[in-house]
Chains A and B, each alone.
Chain A
Amino acid sequence: MDILNAFVALLNYVMIPATAYGAQLALGALGVTLVYGILRFSNFAHGDTMAFGTAMVILATWGLQALGVSAGPLPTALLALPLGIAATALLVLGTDRTVYRFYRREKAAPVVMVMVSVGVMFVMNGLTRFVIGVDEIRFDDGVRFLISAREFKQATGLSEGLALRGTQVLTVVTAGLMVWALFWFLNHTRTGKSMRAYSDNEDLALLSGIDPERVVAVTWIIAAALATTAGTLYGLDKAFKAFNYFHLLLPIFAASIVGGLGNPLGAIAGGFLIAYSEVSITYAFKKVLGYLAPEGWEPEGLVQLLSTEYKFAVSFAILVVVLLFRPTGIFKGKSV
């Protein structure tokens, strides 16, 4: 029995990675849920908006690095983030003007809007690859480890190491700040309140003199900021590859639906729920149980419920279960 080592192993392999991943999913799901709440369709292009935004951040990062600008211990990408957000906001606003607005005026059914967003997804997908290519790109610089496994072992004398990467802390801190800023905006500013009013009751919002086009534009800008930030944090934490962001769409959708579509709080809870489920179901608990089990009772197998190749099956299963038994999600969102 070695509870301390078991806990450190759990912290190192499950909790820290899942928290960082959960924060990334939460930011992504927030964007999806906001667009759903205001524009009333599930935006399939959100994953590729993240990819495009991250690609813009990478280009800006390279530019800054070439100029010799750096953020010291922090990744240069953090300085490039506002530029990436601006470029992405311009792209989605342009898309709205040229594509979505037409269907909005036609009062197209939500399912038509979803199909339109699939088309937008393919275009953005191609655009991103055309601009930055299909290869894996690592663009994290600055301090790599806040706590390295070797130092941790030396300092504590435990046999299990704990590594905490700078990007993981950065992810959680940035996501926390973004969420705080978003909620402050939605709850305390006139524009934010008008967005909630529009999401609550479109007709009454019109009667109150709220300009729908303005609400829609602000929503797209916020969605672009959330997508670019989420994408950049994911890219810093793992690596940038355009295709991965397309894959992220499923866990992000699962997160926003589990939490309740249109409910920002639900998106955050959903993000962490999906991340923790995915990581803990695909983690081999052999080591942790080995520390906990009495002498001679250690498991021989990996004690892994699903191999990591099947991690998307976890999101998918959760999605199906939620849609079957509680279509409005954990927090009361709109029914899909």
Chain B
Amino acid sequence: MAEPYLLAEGMTGGYGAADILHGCTLKVEKGQIAVIVGPNGAGKSTAMKAVFGMLKLRGGHVRLGGRDITRLSPQERVAQGMAFVPQTHNVFPSMSVEENLEMGAFLRQDDFRPTIEQVYDLFPVLRDKRNQPAGELSGGQRQQVAVGRALMTQPQLLMLDEPTAGVSPIVMDELFDRIIEVARTGISILMVEQNARQALEIADIGYVLVQGANRYTDTGAALLADPEVRRTFLGG
């Protein structure tokens, strides 16, 4: 079998002396939605940051599209086709929606107008609010700006750190629908989610992390059906 598009194997490391990740492995195929769930403090966000190069690894390696990118900085990984949407502070609040998208395309030398139009097609509400400062938008709309900004580099792998944190259930459903749409265009998605049940419903593959290590790995549907996973992580 060919190597998956993203292959992060045996990641071990942390911020200080103590390790948070203990041999954590994540794989995402092209156009797949992969979801990381787990209890608080399991190292979900840390695993994501490690994949993006915001954390020094003491062990393991990260490969993207067959290339070893373990030593690259986050900026270099963006150039390699990764995009990251942080959980908070993920927009430029005083800049308009359109300027936020332009900044996402900062490194692109070609004409990025078509990409902006694609983002507007994906999130029609942003087209109406294009000249409004992003900081004045609602939580859900701001998340859309954040995802739109990340899509401006035309990434192959989109990483989302709790995209639905602090938004209403209706907005959450809509955001998940949009994420499925993005994945259909062939972009791989790796996301961390608090709303484990809903996230696993749309997941092609789910990773349950506990204490920085893989506990369960299966398709989203299989994890949802697994009584053990349900009892321990999904609250029955």
Contact = CB atoms under 8 A, between A and B. Distances in A.
A209 interface: yes
Nearest to B82: A207
B106 interface: yes
A207 B84 contact: yes
Interface of A (DSSP majority class):
helix
A196 interface: yes
Contacts of A295: none
Nearest to B73: A206
A194 B89 contact: no
B95 A208 contact: no
Given A204-B86, A204-B90, A209-B79, A193 B103 contact: yes
A207 B74 CA distance: 7
A206 B92 contact: no
Interface in A177-223: 190, 193-194, 196-197, 199-201, 203-210
B104 interface: yes
A196 B74 contact: no
Nearest to A37: B94
A203 B99 contact: no
Contacts, number: 56
Nearest to B76: A209
B94 A200 contact: yes
Nearest to B100: A197
A206 B86 CA distance: 12
B91 A207 contact: no
Contacts of A203: 86, 89
B102 to A, nearest CB: 7
A207 B89 CA distance: 12
Contacts of A205: 92, 103
B112 to A, nearest CB: 11
A206 B74 contact: yes
B28 to A, nearest CB: 20
Given A193-B99, A203-B86, A203-B89, A209 B94 contact: no
A196 B94 contact: yes
Interface in B73-132: 74-75, 78-79, 84, 86, 89-95, 99, 102-104, 106-107
Interface residues of A, number: 16
B75 A197 contact: no
Contact of B107 (A196, A204, A208): A208
A201 B91 contact: yes
Contacts of B89: 201, 203-204
A208 B103 contact: yes
A204 B106 contact: no
A209 B78 CA distance: 8
Given A203-B86, A207-B78, A208-B149, A193 B95 contact: yes
B92 A200 contact: yes
A203 B99 CA distance: 17
A209 B91 contact: no
A209 B90 contact: no
B106 A201 contact: no
Contacts of A200: 92-95
Interface in B44-82: 74-75, 78-79
A251 to B, nearest CB: 26
A117 to B, nearest CB: 25
Contacts of B107: 208-209
Contact of A204 (B79, B92, B99): B92
Given A207-B74, A209-B75, A209-B79, A196 B95 contact: yes
A201 B78 contact: no
Interface string B169-184: 0000000000000000
Contacts of A197: 92, 95, 99, 103, 106
Nearest to B93: A200
A209 B102 CA distance: 12
Given A196-B95, A208-B106, 13 more contacts: A193-B103, A200-B93, A200-B94, A201-B89, A201-B93, A204-B89, A204-B91, A206-B75, A207-B78, A207-B86, A209-B107, A210-B103, A210-B106
22 contacts: A193-B102, A193-B103, A194-B103, A196-B92, A196-B94, A196-B99, A197-B95, A197-B99, A197-B103, A200-B94, A200-B95, A204-B89, A204-B90, A204-B91, A204-B92, A204-B149, A206-B74, A206-B75, A207-B78, A208-B78, A208-B104, A209-B79
Closest 6 CB pairs of A and B: A209-B107, A200-B92, A197-B103, A208-B106, A197-B92, A208-B103
